[in-house]
Chains A and B, each alone.
Chain A
Amino acid sequence: DAGVIQSPRHEVTEMGQEVTLRCKPISGHDYLFWYRQTMMRGLELLIYFNNNVPIDDSGMPEDRFSAKMPNASFSTLKIQPSEPRDSAVYFCASTSRRGGYTFGSGTRLTVV
């Protein structure tokens, strides 16, 4: 199994541009999570899905952020428009049971 795959690994964009982060969970995992990691706030849960349905999006910082999971093997996190304070590492994780996640390698986003 290739694990949780995220793309791109690094993204540098200008303020105001749209950014789309992608995640492919492990096959068979029915839970998918998006986290944001910053020095100041640590790891914050943004949103998670179960069977492609968003369960809790209370961590999404504002309307500029949106996430979708059109099928069991793909999810996107979109920021539109992006701002410098969105700069962070965004992790995707998946699991099929309570017991710990498998994390992707993350996308390091820099908004200038």
Chain B
Amino acid sequence: AQSVSQHNHHVILSEAASLELGCNYSYGGTVNLFWYVQYPGQHLQLLLKYFSGDPLVKGIKGFEAEFIKSKFSFNLRKPSVQWSDTAEYFCAVDNSGYALNFGKGTSLLVTP
């Protein structure tokens, strides 16, 4: 079955630590890939997206993600997290049109 897997459900980091959140998908063919962020009590917002071209994608707030086709992965990274990055992060895949399928999310807590 087609799915999006996020390996880490909960991540706790200290400020200035580096972040990498894993995302794997099981869709065949061409895919578009997304990372969304949901701050506490808020709606989802788009962090970055990949359609084609350079597999290293830069998004807002210093986030980036790398598409590795051979590994079916689209991991999210940030070199140095801040307390304000505390949020839930969702990976999503679109391969058959406009509907997005989301992973279950990773909850990130950044401690001072």
Contact = CB atoms under 8 A, between A and B. Distances in A.
Interface of A: 31, 33, 35, 41-43, 45, 48, 50, 55-56, 91, 93, 95, 98-101, 103-106
Contact of B42 (A50, A98, A100, A105): A105
B105 A42 contact: yes
B111 interface: no
Nearest to A43: B102
B34 interface: yes
B32 A98 contact: yes
B46 A100 contact: yes
30 contacts: A33-B99, A35-B102, A41-B104, A42-B102, A42-B104, A43-B44, A43-B90, A43-B102, A45-B99, A45-B100, A50-B98, A55-B97, A56-B99, A91-B44, A93-B44, A98-B51, A99-B32, A99-B49, A99-B51, A100-B34, A100-B49, A101-B44, A101-B46, A101-B100, A103-B43, A103-B44, A103-B45, A104-B43, A105-B43, A106-B43
Q: How large is the interface on B (under 10, 10 to 19, 20 to 34, 35 or more residues)?
A: 20 to 34
A104 B38 CA distance: 12
Interface in B35-73: 36, 42-46, 49, 51
Contact of B94 (A55, A98, A104): A98
B101 interface: yes
Contacts of B36: 100
Nearest to A59: B99
B30 to A, nearest CB: 11
